[in-house]
Chains A and B, each alone.
Chain A
Amino acid sequence: MKIRVLYFAAIREQMGQAEATIEVAPGETPSSMAKQLMGSDATLLFAVNDELVAKDYALADGDQLAFIPPMAGG
């Protein structure tokens, strides 16, 4: 299945792109994707289809997964 991934801030710079469409195996989660793509899921939050989700959320075909580094608003 295919998902779209979004990278922000420090992660975007590290990955060298703001977004990508990638092929993933069934059963993957935001946490497992972070480990695959970035080597760790530490300190990250995750959003699927623009809503925050748990790190073990079951990804589905067509989902948009955003990796959210620690926020710094205000």
Chain B
Amino acid sequence: MLIKLTSDVIDVSEALAYVRDPSCGAVSMFEGNIRDENQGELVLNLEYEVYEQLFTKEVERIAAEANEKWRVHEMAIVQRVGLLQVGDTGIVICVSSAHRRDALEGLSYMIEEFKKRAPVWKKERTDGGDKWINWGPQI
């Protein structure tokens, strides 16, 4: 499995090549890109921050769960960190399997759990101001 954090532009072809295999008839990929609008505000850019040690452990756990539920052959998870602009890719997840159902459902599980459990934070800069996503004035 490939788990990678990078401050450089994500090389999608590298992630796809990592999971491809002669035994796999299916490769699925999720690409998370920076949208130009959020909740009616114009997005200027996004800053990604990651707790690296916990990130790796938690992504390994999520991948192990996906492996138990579906017949996944290989996975690649590449997360961008630092300042990203509109249109940039923040995350790529690739999953390969012998058949499409395992590749598609395994990928869906990966991204849904990733969003809930991976220690990643995003600071959004918009025409309405700056804010950390999911963070309110609790403290």
A23 within 8 A of B: no
Pairwise interchain contact A74-B91, C-beta atoms closer than 8 A? yes
Question: A73 to B118, Cβ gap below 8 A?
Answer: yes
B60-98 toward A: CB 8 Å interface, digit per residue (1/0)? 000000000000000000010000000000110000000
What is the total number of residues of chain B having a CB less than 8 Å from a CB of chain A? Answer: 27
Interface residues of B, dominant DSSP: mixed
CB distance from B61 to the nearest CB of A (A): 10
Cα distance A13–B114 in the bound complex, in angstroms: 24
Write the residues of chain B forming the contact surface with A, with a CB cutoff of 8 angstroms.
Answer: 32, 49, 51, 53-54, 57, 79, 90-91, 111, 114-123, 132-136, 138-139
Binding site for B on A (CB under 8 A): 6, 8-12, 14, 38-40, 42-43, 47, 50-52, 66, 68-74
| 12 more CB-based (< 8 A) A-B contacts, given A47-B119, A73-B118, A74-B120 | A9-B49, A9-B132, A10-B132, A12-B49, A40-B138, A40-B139, A43-B136, A52-B54, A70-B135, A71-B115, A73-B79, A73-B91
